[in-house]
A and B are shown apart, each in its own frame.
Chain A
Amino acid sequence: MGTARVVFDRWDGRYAAAMADVRSSAVRDLFAAASRPDVISLSGGMPDVRRVPHALVEKAVRDALRHDGASALQYGSSEGRRPLRSIIVGLMGESGVRLSEDDLVVTSGAQQGLDLLAKVFLDPGDTVICEGPTYVGALQAFSVYRPRVECIECDEHGMRVDLLEEALRRLGPRGAKFIYTIPNFQNPAGVTLSPERRRRLLELSREYDIPVIEDDPYGRLRYEGGHILPLRALDPEVIYLGTFSKIFAPGLRLGWLAAPRPILAKVLLAKQGADLCGSSFTQAVAEHYMTGTAWRRVLADLTRTYHERRDAMLDALAEHFPADVTWTHPEGGFFVWVTLPGHLDTKPLLAEAVERGVTFVPGSDFYPAGQGSNSLRLAFCYEEPAQIAEGVRRIAEVLEDKLALYHAFVEAGVMPGSPGAPRQEVSR
């Protein structure tokens, strides 16, 4: 029988002060508690591993045990297994990046890379620069080290490098510890940094002597347009984070971090403290998956699937969403970023969406402090096209009601400026 009992944290009050700054999203916790199986989830960025054939994984596991059993079950080197690093060098080469096995370490997902970099670079009060909005997991990884986070606005071509320059001029040379960017199909905004801006970003990084962290989990999931060279291909001083989560499966927890050798040495020390070495076993499995199976065919199928779902979402948005709501057009990745006119706040709207059986993530989750309240993120990676269309339709119903209000204001001619004009922040 169900119960409403609450279980407390009896160790509360004994945690490190740094943990006080690490908050889970109150709104998301609230609705995670209310999640039902019939709810259409447009909130989570989960790769659709249902499409990874188990037979291929079984073969990779068998091969790993048969050929590398002894080493796969043993501790490994902190850098990660050399054969896997060779495979990564090959993958990077396909993206246009030339490096050697000694320029990278295998991490437990790119997420560990973020944590290690924060550990290596950040003292409390240091400034880090990132996109606004940005990956919530990065904000979480950084926040334990208590930095000041400066967000640079994005538009459809990615981070506004003109605003970055303004910020850097204010902060001065070495005025921030690093610039964190997700150049391809950004999470959550879905936008891609243009080649011109990539070049400018690197110039500014050199000029102000602030390293760039390039987080590139979605780079191979492109559904339209041509490949754009990674920042790391243009500048060997860029720190690059890659992952097997989207080309194989996140359950293996395999990513990598490529960096200039001195930085890599520090990262390795930090990693030894964190976990001595990553999982030899999953690394060996990945080696055999990437060499002894038709993984490229699986990835092509996944890409086709995500492409269909993206189209389903964009079509549904065009069909159901009111005219004055805007959204991004992702050329790849998992996410569409939706912006409502005016100061309509999406946090309370989530409650209504959940009642109608659909979830999204309110925009303010992707900022360190309260911005983005009139935006939301939709993920198209996991649900089937029909579900996506239905979910979008339900969210549109929720929006309609609030937009009727906005329209009443517009018709009365009291909204400042025309739609899309820069808005003035109201103190709150």
Chain B
Amino acid sequence: MNEKIAVLMGGRSLERDVSLRSGERVFGALKELGYRPLALDVTPELVDTLRRERPDAVYIALHGKFGEDGTVQEALEFLKIPYTGPGVTASALAWDKSLSKRLFAEAGVPTPAWVTFTADAFKEMGAASALDLVPEAVGGFPVVVKPTKQGSALGLARVDTSEELPEALLSALSFGDAAIVERWVEGTELAVSVLDGPGAPEVLPAVEMVAKSGVFDFTAMYTRGETEYYCPARLAPETAEEVARLALACHTLLGCRDVSRVDMVVDADGRPWVLEVNTSPGMTETSLLPMAAETAGLSFQLLVDRLTRSALTCRV
């Protein structure tokens, strides 16, 4: 077990800091496991370094743009270096919330009503004059506004009145060229991780998050003590079962490989709604996938080992 594993982390994404924390933990685990890990940042020298170092596999601990949207995956396939996590297509689909929600809806996976706005629709087609239709389209306020392609809740805002909507859209569109307005589902926030196993994929226990500020934003997400976690989530058995079924459905629907983390909300009637799928879940000390794995009896080290093994054995 002394394969050389390059851990990709950092990068020029707004989630650089989080990724460095994920990467460092993964690096530590790989080292303890007896691999020869190599910590690499995404810099203009990355491809050169990879070609020179010839790692046996790459562990992708990147979050956000380039790391989670299929870009790095595409480059690694070209270099013929196996890597952890979902492939190019699944990454690109999950990264675009508008596309993945469309797929969910078509497959009958419940996802809150939404509309997508592109910056071009506003600039070139006068879409702003149709904002009054938003409440009806999504079932009234409150709504949540977020960039279609951005992780870690950056640019996300909850909006309670139609007066606040344009401002929130401007903020979300600062982060990218499209944003979605989605009905706000009040309820229990869940993260449900799915791991591919030797046989069928395995759904890990759901993690329940309670943000002290009320909104699960960037600060709440990455600051110790800002959020309370329950794992397994405090759900009725039949709800837990339904949540697991949906997580698996999303994982399969997007064609995820190795791992995915499905974020959901369970409303007051016990009905789960899928919000989005993450293909490069955080691996920091406050992250949800490691928490779920731990609850399922899978230590952080074993989790990393399992993902790495899969990359090493399954493909070229």
A→B interface (CB under 8 Å)? 1-8, 12, 20, 26-27, 29-30, 33-34, 342-349, 351, 369-370, 373, 402, 404-406, 408-409, 411-416, 423-424, 426-428
Chain A residue with minimal CB distance to B46?
A4
Listed by A's residue number, 17 A-B pairs whose Cβ atoms lie within 8 Å are A7-B39, A8-B39, A12-B24, A26-B14, A33-B43, A343-B170, A348-B14, A348-B174, A348-B176, A351-B12, A370-B219, A402-B174, A408-B123, A409-B166, A413-B129, A414-B165, A428-B158
3 pairs of A and B residues whose beta carbons are closest in the complex: A412-B128, A2-B45, A345-B174
Residues of B within 8 A of A409 (CB): 122, 128, 166, 169-170
- A105 shortest CB reach to chain B, Å: 37
**Bound Cα distance A287, B187 (Å):** 68
Known: A4-B49, A405-B119, A405-B123; 7 extra A-B contacts, CB below 8 A, are A1-B45, A5-B49, A342-B167, A346-B174, A409-B122, A424-B163, A426-B171
Chain A residue with minimal CB distance to B171?
A343
Contact A423 B14 (CB under 8 A): no
**Bound Cα distance A349, B129 (Å):** 26
Contact with A along B146-169 (1 / 0, CB 8 A): 000000000111110001111111
Contact A26 B48 (CB under 8 A): no
**Bound Cα distance A253, B43 (Å):** 35
Query: In the complex, which of the residues A1, A348, A369, A411 has the most CB atoms of chain B within 10 Å of its own CB atom?
Result: A348
**Bound Cα distance A177, B130 (Å):** 51
Chain B, 92-106, CB within 8 A of any chain A CB = none
Contact B174 A6 (CB under 8 A): no
Contact A8 B42 (CB under 8 A): no
Contact of B166 among A1, A5, A27, A415 (CB under 8 A): A415
Residues of B within 8 A of A3 (CB): 45, 48-49
Residues of A within 8 A of B168 (CB): 343, 426
**Bound Cα distance A345, B155 (Å):** 8
- B274 shortest CB reach to chain A, Å: 22
Residues of A within 8 A of B122 (CB): 405, 408-409
Interface segment, B15-23, B69-77, B291-299? B15-23
Count of A-B residue pairs with CB < 8 Å: 139
Contact of B14 among A8, A30, A33 (CB under 8 A): A30
Contact A29 B24 (CB under 8 A): no
Residues of B within 8 A of A404 (CB): 123
Contact A2 B39 (CB under 8 A): no
- A126 shortest CB reach to chain B, Å: 20
Contact A412 B155 (CB under 8 A): no
Chain A residue with minimal CB distance to B145?
A426
Contact B215 A428 (CB under 8 A): yes
With A408-B122, A426-B157 given, is the CB distance from A4 to B14 under 8 Å? no
Contact B12 A8 (CB under 8 A): no
Contact B126 A6 (CB under 8 A): no
Contact of A406 among B10, B50, B163, B170 (CB under 8 A): B170
Chain B residue with minimal CB distance to A417?
B163
Contact A428 B46 (CB under 8 A): no
Residues of B within 8 A of A406 (CB): 170
**Bound Cα distance A416, B163 (Å):** 6
Contact A30 B16 (CB under 8 A): yes
- B267 shortest CB reach to chain A, Å: 20
- B127 shortest CB reach to chain A, Å: 8
Chain B residue with minimal CB distance to A415?
B166
Chain B, 38-69, CB within 8 A of any chain A CB = 38-46, 48-50, 52
Contact A344 B174 (CB under 8 A): yes
Contact A2 B40 (CB under 8 A): no
- B17 shortest CB reach to chain A, Å: 5
Contact B44 A405 (CB under 8 A): no
Contact B157 A6 (CB under 8 A): no
B231 sits at the interface (CB 8 A)? no
- B57 shortest CB reach to chain A, Å: 16
B264 sits at the interface (CB 8 A)? no
Contact B49 A426 (CB under 8 A): no
Contact A416 B12 (CB under 8 A): no
Residues of B within 8 A of A424 (CB): 163-164, 167
- A301 shortest CB reach to chain B, Å: 40
Contact B171 A344 (CB under 8 A): yes
Residues of B within 8 A of A7 (CB): 39
Residues of A within 8 A of B20 (CB): 6
B27 sits at the interface (CB 8 A)? yes
Contact A348 B175 (CB under 8 A): yes
Contact A405 B163 (CB under 8 A): no
Residues of B within 8 A of A347 (CB): 14, 174
Chain B, 165-198, CB within 8 A of any chain A CB = 165-171, 173-176
**Bound Cα distance A5, B14 (Å):** 20
- B163 shortest CB reach to chain A, Å: 4
**Bound Cα distance A111, B122 (Å):** 47
Contact with A along B241-260 (1 / 0, CB 8 A): 00000000000000000000
Contact A349 B174 (CB under 8 A): yes
**Bound Cα distance A151, B128 (Å):** 34
